[in-house]
Chains A and B, each alone.
Chain A
């Protein structure tokens, strides 16, 4: 689990990316074994990443049963289409999270507008199963903590704008409307917020 760090300008990526030596990351090795229909590799990948995938999908969909369906869908997609992951384009987990987020947002858009509004008004988070920590590496835990700290430093509306974009799939215009702020302000917040997160993560690593 020890990745040597890249000396590229994108230092923050180093925590996520295997070194540029020929060492293959554990995830990439497991994905390769999926291509051989190796069930135990699938089990390992599930155990390593199902929590963060479920965490993300549940946050987007706010409903445990639908979230589980999407998580099932995501992992079956991984099992059946492992070849779609291209290790040379970046580490595995961000790829998997992007896939999961897209699936969850698709599912969210399927819900009727009425139902969605009702849920937004209620603004109710589902009961969260108390979990001491992610099963992932210590690196992952540290990173999770750091991401939360860095985003907490943003002004609350800026944070909300980023959350609306990421977890609810809203566009700049929709966010401006939801927060009753000018469009230009919202665009600036989001970009500035993401860049500050990036700087913070770079400084951390």
Chain B
């Protein structure tokens, strides 16, 4: 493909602009077609040109993204990693083993001949059915965990979700992040939370906009042993538009119908 020196040189000269993306449509198509022939020199030149062009990024005035972006990304990534783990375990745990299908086939085979007469055969059938049911339940449990993690990932990534920073009233308490999706629910998460004493638990409340209305109780959750808090409320008791703020209090195990302590975290729901 590169015996026509003139042509090759012509394309070679366009490679930098091709990497930069500044060629007009016609030239771009011509270079693309030439590269598709597998010209090695131009392919290598293109890799170099891409490196060169990427250095232009340093011409931009330096800036840094907000820490909140990092937190949001990590939440999503953690949720997805958990989903991937659930998925892997769903596959490894719940595939119905081959021997079991063999057992089912054998049972059916004998059943045809003996027409359920032998007690031992009925016993075999019963045991096989039990084993199958257990497998199905395991599979369902894994599927449920997977669906849950996926829902959480969707809530966290959908740009329509509302981000609510929940700050702590007490010094030294980490900030929590709430993300509210109008149809998929609320995710509240945080890291390095202290463990509530005894059996006590953390409970989420929706504080309604309507003056004088009582806080609406939502779900309870204790942080895990690492202090990670990751709560998904699939069906919050109210909509974002009816809610002034989210609050979290410490409550006795099982939660309370109304708050019994002052909120540790509060975050305002931005009204539209």
A169 and B73 contacting across the interface, CB-CB below 8 Å: no
- List A contacts of B63 (CB < 8 A): 51, 54-55, 58, 128-129, 131
- List A contacts of B66 (CB < 8 A): 68
Interface size class of A (residues with CB under 8 A): 35 or more
A55 and B51 contacting across the interface, CB-CB below 8 Å: no
B84 and A94 contacting across the interface, CB-CB below 8 Å: no
Within A60-95, the residues touching B (CB, 8 Å) are: 67-69, 71-72, 75-76, 79-80, 89-91, 93-94
Q: Is B52 an interface residue (CB 8 A)?
A: yes
A-B contact pairs, 25 of them (CB 8 A): A37-B80, A37-B84, A39-B77, A51-B62, A54-B64, A54-B65, A55-B60, A55-B62, A56-B57, A56-B60, A58-B60, A68-B66, A76-B76, A90-B50, A94-B54, A97-B57, A125-B61, A129-B63, A134-B62, A143-B55, A165-B20, A166-B20, A190-B16, A194-B53, A201-B55
A89 to B162, CA, bound (A): 40
Also in contact, A76 and B16, with CB within 8 A (given A54-B63, A171-B22, A172-B23): no
List the A residue with the shortest CB-CB distance to B153: A76
A89 to B54, CA, bound (A): 14
List the A residue with the shortest CB-CB distance to B159: A69
From residue A123, how far is it (CB to closest CB) to chain B in Å? Answer: 14
Q: Is B47 an interface residue (CB 8 A)?
A: yes
Beyond the given pairs A51-B64, A75-B73, A98-B50, 7 more chain A to chain B contacts, judged by CB atoms under 8 angstroms and listed by A's residue number, are A52-B58, A56-B57, A59-B59, A79-B80, A94-B55, A98-B53, A162-B56
- List B contacts of A172 (CB < 8 A): 17, 22-24
B23 and A13 contacting across the interface, CB-CB below 8 Å: no
A191 and B76 contacting across the interface, CB-CB below 8 Å: no
**0/1 interface trace, chain A 111-124, chain B, CB 8 Å (1 if under):** 00000000000000
- With beta carbons under 8 angstroms apart, the residue of B50, B51, B74 that contacts A43 is B74
- With beta carbons under 8 angstroms apart, the residue of B47, B52, B77 that contacts A89 is B47
Also in contact, A166 and B53, with CB within 8 A (given A46-B70, A171-B22, A172-B22): yes
Q: Identify the 4 closest CB pairs spanning chains A and B, nearest first.
A: A59-B60, A94-B54, A144-B58, A165-B22
A72 and B23 contacting across the interface, CB-CB below 8 Å: no
- List B contacts of A197 (CB < 8 A): 52, 55
From residue B91, how far is it (CB to closest CB) to chain A in Å? Answer: 14
- List B contacts of A194 (CB < 8 A): 16, 20, 49, 52-53
Within A16-61, the residues touching B (CB, 8 Å) are: 16, 37-39, 42-43, 46, 50-52, 54-56, 58-59
Q: Is B209 an interface residue (CB 8 A)?
A: no
A97 and B76 contacting across the interface, CB-CB below 8 Å: no
- List B contacts of A179 (CB < 8 A): none
From residue B179, how far is it (CB to closest CB) to chain A in Å? Answer: 13
Q: Is A187 an interface residue (CB 8 A)?
A: yes
Interface size class of B (residues with CB under 8 A): 35 or more
B17 and A191 contacting across the interface, CB-CB below 8 Å: yes
**0/1 interface trace, chain B 31-63, chain A, CB 8 Å (1 if under):** 000000000000000011111111111111111
Also in contact, A147 and B157, with CB within 8 A (given A46-B73, A54-B65, A55-B62): no
A127 to B78, CA, bound (A): 32
- List A contacts of B49 (CB < 8 A): 194
From residue B116, how far is it (CB to closest CB) to chain A in Å? Answer: 49
Q: Is A167 an interface residue (CB 8 A)?
A: yes
- List B contacts of A101 (CB < 8 A): 54, 57
- List A contacts of B76 (CB < 8 A): 76
B17 and A190 contacting across the interface, CB-CB below 8 Å: yes
Within B66-100, the residues touching A (CB, 8 Å) are: 66, 69-70, 72-74, 76-78, 80-81, 84-85
A171 to B22, CA, bound (A): 4
A75 to B73, CA, bound (A): 8
A131 to B63, CA, bound (A): 6
B78 and A39 contacting across the interface, CB-CB below 8 Å: yes
From residue A63, how far is it (CB to closest CB) to chain B in Å? Answer: 12
Within A144-192, the residues touching B (CB, 8 Å) are: 144, 147-148, 151, 162-163, 165-167, 169-173, 175, 187, 190-191
- List B contacts of A38 (CB < 8 A): 81
- With beta carbons under 8 angstroms apart, the residue of A71, A143, A187 that contacts B69 is A71
